[in-house]
Structure formats: C-alpha cells, structure tokens
Amino acid sequence: MRVLVVDDEEKIRNVIKEYAEFEGYEIDEACDGMEAIAKCKNNDYDIIIMDIMMPKLDGFSSIKEIRKTKNIPVIMLSARGEEYDKLFGFEIGIDDYVVKPFSPKELMARINAVITRSKSATGQNTVQEKYILEGLEVDMLGRNVYVDGVKKDLTPKEYELLQYFILNKNIALSREKILNEVWGYDFFGEDRTVDTHVKMLRNNLGKYRDKIVTVRGMGYKFEE
C-alpha cells in the first residue's frame, strides 16, 4: 500500500511516515500542492494525506487538479476546524478531514478505515454490473452515472453513497448507519455530512432526486 503525504511541515511528514511505515505502508512525500500533483501524474497511490494551507498551491486546489485524472482516496489535514472547511472538502470529494494537532494513532485508524472502505466499495462493483431505473442508469463497473443519457459528474463519495442506497433499496437507513457504512467509522457530530452529500446527490439526479426519500427523524431510503 502506497501513501502520499503532502505537508509543508517536515516534522509532520516525518511523524506520519514513522507510524505508517510501522504498519507496513510505503510512504512518498511532497512539500506542497504542485509537487503532489506532479507525483500523482507519475505514480499510483492507495491514499493521499493532504494538508490544506501550503505554499504555491493549497490542498483543496491540489485535490481538484488530481481528481481530473486520478480517483485516489483523500484525507485532509488542517489546523482549522471550521465546519465550512469540512463541508467544502467533502463537496470536492475528500474521504475524511482531520484537525491538527492530531493523534498519529487515530490518523492511522482513519487511514485504514478509508482504504478498507475504498477496497470494499470496489469489490461491491462485481455484484451487479449495471443498475437501471427508468432514465437513471448506474454503471457499477465503470462507476459512472447517467440521467436520461447524460453523464453526471459525481464525486467519489457521492457515487459510493448512491451505490450504497441502491444496494439497500427500499430499506430505511439511519444517518449513523450510513456514516458507518459509507465513511467506514463513526463521525463526531457529523450527521450533517450525510445531509450535505444527499443534497448534492439529489441535485445530480435531477428529476430522479425523489427516489431518495427522507425518513423523518431517522435518515433516508432509496425507493424504486
């Protein structure tokens, strides 16, 4: 497993590297966003640990650029814990958000959870090649979504959420269960993360947005 650690602070890179290598990961490093983009063009990684505030190019902009060519799970690091930063990160497709200072052991647990979830989602694609409901078509193998023949640009997490809904169609799902299954572990007071992603997913589904039904006081259900 290869991990790209992107942070302008060498001390933080070294701490992450020490713990990650102890757990058997191969580590590559970048000190800014531009270097991270260049490395992702020439290498494949299982996950990226990306700081937000860096010289030359910030983490959010770097991820947007990397996402144009590579679909790699991302954990963002930030000294700022504002809700806006977290929600913006999830909107552009990150998998997790960790606030500095952080526990290296907790970060490793989150890395393991994200990678496990990513591999599990990939494995689920073999169960069903394609899902079609009226004009909504989900290509499980290609991870593509079409609405009345038009391809929709979903973030990786939006796609995983839609896939989870489809695999559990007609079942009422609590926000907690969705967080555990799609994000891989418990978030702390992050129920709004689910609501935010459902809102974005509904926008992408257009006239089929009503297939995702709100279950009052609980969560959501995908109805056929």
Residue with tokens 């995983």: 160
| Residue 30 in this model has a pLDDT that exceeds 90 | yes
Per CATH, the architecture of 126-222 is what?
Orthogonal Bundle (1.10)
CB 38 within 8 Å of CB 32:
no
Mean pLDDT across 11-20: 94
Tens of pLDDT, residues 49-95: 999 989 889 999 999 999 888 888 999 998 876 777 778 888 888 88
pLDDT value of residue 185: 55
For the chain, residues classed under CATH 1.10.10.10 are 126-222
Residue of 46, 45, 100, 57 lying closest to 76 (CA atoms) = 100
Measure the CA dihedral 57/60/63/67, to 10°.
-120
pLDDT value of residue 183: 77
Q: What percent of the chain has pLDDT over 90?
A: 43
Tens of pLDDT, residues 141-183: 788 899 999 999 888 889 989 999 998 888 899 988 888 888 7
CATH class of 2-123: alpha beta
Mean pLDDT across 205-221: 93
For the chain, residues classed under CATH 3.40.50.2300 are 2-123
- The pTM of this model reads 0.59
**Integer Cα distance of 156 and 162 in angstroms:** 10
pLDDT value of residue 126: 40
Residue 167 backbone dihedrals phi, psi, to 5 degrees = -65, -20
Tens of pLDDT, residues 105-119: 989 988 888 887 776
**Integer Cα distance of 169 and 213 in angstroms:** 11
Structural tokens at position 49: 């640990």
Select the more confidently predicted residue: 27 or 82: 27
